[in-house]
């Protein structure tokens, strides 16, 4: 009987400790969020005091928890995508990371860094979306098509540099992400630092107004054949635009 009471008290004590730790962690995270937002608001005010026009509310609506992701190249994913489009097809390894899948309707060429080329040989010109659409239902990637150009989104954000379009009558080329299991990388800088970096960039280019800003991912092909998506701010002013890496505060370009 005594052991039963002691066991009950021990369980209650453990529950109380877990509850305390949970509340403490939540409070700390909440404080960090409030502090980060306050610093971002102060950075906006500083740029406005310098004479730069901007929409502080739009900037503060940008996500503060971005990070980079690396997608390892997946030959099985490429083979599955080619099969979805061509049906029965034969694989040929050309060397240098080049894989060719050929079927009755056409062929698909995959290269390192997400490069893909689709060519129809039977004149049917089927739907490239069968090749490009993410296979997993819970994928964080989403395909879209506008005016014949296929584009990609990650967690709802545009992926700059990921696009496939018609290059000839029966040929489609571009860069894409075929793997669906990303590895998380570095976290983005606090928004306050990015705001100040954006202000410096605009002033260096003689701009007095931040007309547009949105969060995107920038696709970079890695030497080992993988693909990295780097979070960035796409900044627009006076008909020009720049991609500011959210990891470094420096300019970044798709590659």
Task: Pull the structure tokens for residue 253.
Answer: 């370009």
Neighbours of 239 (CB within 10 A): 6
125-137 residue pLDDT tens: 678 888 898 877 7
What integer is the mean pLDDT of 189-201?
A: 94
31-43 residue pLDDT tens: 444 578 888 999 9
pLDDT surpassing 70 at residue 255: yes
Query: How buried is 193 (Cβ within 10 angstroms: 0-12 exposed, 13-18 middle, 19+ buried)?
Result: middle
Confidence of residue 250 (pLDDT cuts 50, 70, 90): very high
Domain residue limits, the chain: 2-69+186-245, 73-180
The DSSP-derived string for 113-146 is GGEEEEEESSS----THHHHS--STT-SEEEEEE
pLDDT surpassing 60 at residue 28: no
Task: Pull the structure tokens for residue 160.
Answer: 């700059």
DSSP 8-state code for residue 254: -
What integer is the mean pLDDT of 185-209?
A: 93
Residue partners of 172: CB distance under 8 A and separation at least 6 = 117, 118, 119, 128, 164, 165, 166
Query: Taking a C-beta distance cutoff of 8 angstroms, is the pair 47, 196 a contact?
Result: yes
Query: Taking a C-beta distance cutoff of 8 angstroms, is the pair 191, 175 a contact?
Result: no
Identify the pLDDT of residue 40: 92
Dist. CA 90–CA 118, nearest whole Å? 15
Identify the pLDDT of residue 24: 44
* Residue written as token pair 């502090």: 35
What integer is the mean pLDDT of 132-161?
A: 90
Identify the pLDDT of residue 92: 92
């Amino acid at each position: 009987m005594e052991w039963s009471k002691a066991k009950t008290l021990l369980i209650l004590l453990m529950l109380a400790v877990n509850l305390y730790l949970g509340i403490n962690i939540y409070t700390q995270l909440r404080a960090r969020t409030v502090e980060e937002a306050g610093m971002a608001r102060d950075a906006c005010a500083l740029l406005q005091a310098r004479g730069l026009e901007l929409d502080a509310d739009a900037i503060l609506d940008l996500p503060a928890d971005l990070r980079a992701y690396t997608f390892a190249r997946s030959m099985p994913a490429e083979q599955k995508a080619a099969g979805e489009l061509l049906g029965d097809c034969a694989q040929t390894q050309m060397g240098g990371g080049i894989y060719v899948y050929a079927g009755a309707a056409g062929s698909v060429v995959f290269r390192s860094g997400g490069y893909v080329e689709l060519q129809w040989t039977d004149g049917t010109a089927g739907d490239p979306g069968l090749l490009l659409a993410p296979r997993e239902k819970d994928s964080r990637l989403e395909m879209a098509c506008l005016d014949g150009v296929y584009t990609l989104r990650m967690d709802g954000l545009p992926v700059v540099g990921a696009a496939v379009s018609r290059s000839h009558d029966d040929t489609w080329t571009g860069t894409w992400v075929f793997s669906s299991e990303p590895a998380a990388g570095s976290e983005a800088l606090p928004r306050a630092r990015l705001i100040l970096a954006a202000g410096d960039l605009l002033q260096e280019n003689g701009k007095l107004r931040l007309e547009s800003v949105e969060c995107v991912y920038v696709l970079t092909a890695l030497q080992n054949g993988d693909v990295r998506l780097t979070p960035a701010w796409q900044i627009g002013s006076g008909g020009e635009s720049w991609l500011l890496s959210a990891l470094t505060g420096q300019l970044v370009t798709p590659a």
